[in-house]
Amino acid sequence: MRLSSSLWAQHLGRMIKRHWYIQGNRPIIQTATESYLKSQNIEIVEPEILLVQQLPERLKLNEPLIPLPLPKDKTHPNWKDKPCLSYRDHNVLLEGVEQAKVLTKTVEIVDGLPESVNNLITEHDERVEELVLRTVYNSTIYDAYQERLPKPKDPERPGFMFPRPYGISAIRKARNLSQKLLQLCESLSGPQVAFERNLIYNGVVSLPIEKDEKQLQFELRADMLVTSTSPLKPMASKGEGNDIQLPNLHPIDSTITLEKENIYTLRNFYPIMKNSQWMNVHTIFAHFNPREVKNIYETPVTESQILGRSLLKSFAVGAACARQRFGNEVLSLSEPVTVQCIQSDGKMFHFSVLQLNTLDLNGSGGERNIWWSAPNINLYEKAGYEGGIPTVQNYNPEVFRRIFAFYNNN
């Protein structure tokens, strides 16, 4: 072992411990603070008293910061003894189209769309078809927005857990397609037609109406509401469908599956003021969202129920527009109100036209409203990636031809 010289160094750890020991027992230095405060008549309190005193855990307020919800009973200010049967965007009718016809006192005089609309359906050149096909690609494949989609189910294997898919939802595809196809219609129609149209997103309508001594109220949303400076011309005479019988729903009632409520407020609402030059309803774009629209019996929504939504939305928007034009108490319309409706889920498209002749829904006789409906058609069969390549299979150009005809119909 090598010998080294003694350095006479202090032990650092022992010095730190000694320092903490001395400083931890520092004596209290007496100052003249207490005598000075007493000379100024300032009260001096021992700290032990403040430490023993406990503050309440929570502040007691006379009124809550957020008002408590009112009880849903007869004490509610909007409670009414007469119940109201409401129809909203998430509802569907049990019998679909047949029930919607009885509920709105509507008949079909011919199959398909009116002749005046069919005459406007023409073919387009290849450049227009390429623009429409590009719109389909951008709306259904190239959209960078991704979200968690509903879990796929296999009826034969109800307990099997499929991987959670991600992609573009059906409602987003429908919104993208409707907006871009409508914009393409405006570009192709020119400024003369576009200046006569106005577009409203998420236009809400409210329509209280009575049927056979029952109070009904339609509270619906037009996802895209196209209005015009002049109303659409009637497609048929007012009395043309009066001799057609309404469907027989026996033994069920026409108001079945409507929501029964005792707490409600009746109001007539149309999203456009009466003095606006674009207050006339022209075309409704209704989007079918499978996550929102459901049966109260948890059964799948049928095609007839989807078509019934088109009829009820057309009736609600057309009746709200009629009351805006002719007054809230009008029953027999002096001038029919015509409404075009396009319903889509991003792939399927349904085209219909409603001519509103009367708002008197009592009984089964008298004037009737007239409805034209075309069968559902698909814009494409499948849109997605096949082997890493974006592909749209079986594109159907007839869809855009009908949308363009609806837009240019006056």
**Do you find a cis peptide bond into 56, omega within 30 degrees of 0?**
no
Mean of the per-residue pLDDT values of the chain: 91
Confidence band, pLDDT 50/70/90 cuts, at residue 6:
low
pLDDT above 70: residue 1: no
Q: Where are the domains of the chain?
A: 92-408
Q: Which residues of 260-296 are buried (b: 16+ CB within 10 A; e: fewer)?
A: eeeebeeebebbbeeeeebbbbbbbbbbbbeeebeee
Tell me the C-alpha distance between 268 and 34, whole Å.
76
Beta strands in 79-142 (DSSP E): 79-87, 106-107
CB 203 within 8 A of CB 221: yes
Supply the pLDDT for residue 112.
92
Question: Residue with structure tokens 């003249």?
Answer: 32
Integer distance in angstroms from the first to the last C-alpha of the chain?
Answer: 112
pLDDT above 60: residue 314: yes
* Tokens encoding 61: 């307020």
Strand-pair partners of 382: 393
pLDDT above 60: residue 367: yes
pLDDT above 70: residue 246: yes
Query: What would you report as the CA-atom Rg of the chain, rounded to the nearest whole angstrom?
Result: 35
Tell me the C-alpha distance between 268 and 123, whole Å.
41
The rounded Cα 137 to chain-centroid distance in angstroms is 25
Which pTM value belongs to this model? Answer: 0.82
What's the count of helices (H) and strands (E) in the chain, helices before strands? Answer: 10, 14
Supply the pLDDT for residue 148.
92
Residues 376-393 pLDDT 10s: 999 999 999 998 899 999
CB 326 within 8 A of CB 231: no
* Tokens encoding 241: 């469908």
Write out 45-74 in H/E/C secondary structure: CCHHHHHHCCCCCCCCCCCCCCCCCCCCCC
State the DSSP H helix or E strand holding residue 215, giving kind and residue range, or none if neither: strand 214-228
Question: Residue with structure tokens 């469908």?
Answer: 241
**What's 255's DSSP letter?**
T
Tell me the C-alpha distance between 140 and 390, whole Å.
10
The residue that leads in pLDDT, 25 or 57, is 25
3-state DSSP: the chain helix, strand, coil percent, rounded to 5?
Answer: 25, 25, 50
Q: At what angle do helices 170-189 and 126-140 cross, to 10 degrees?
A: 150
Tell me the C-alpha distance between 80 and 76, whole Å.
9
Nearest to 393 by CA among 382, 401, 404: 382
Q: Give mean pLDDT, residues 171-178.
A: 94
CB 200 within 8 A of CB 271: yes
Confidence band, pLDDT 50/70/90 cuts, at residue 7:
low
Q: Give mean pLDDT, residues 153-164.
A: 89
Q: Give mean pLDDT, residues 263-281.
A: 93
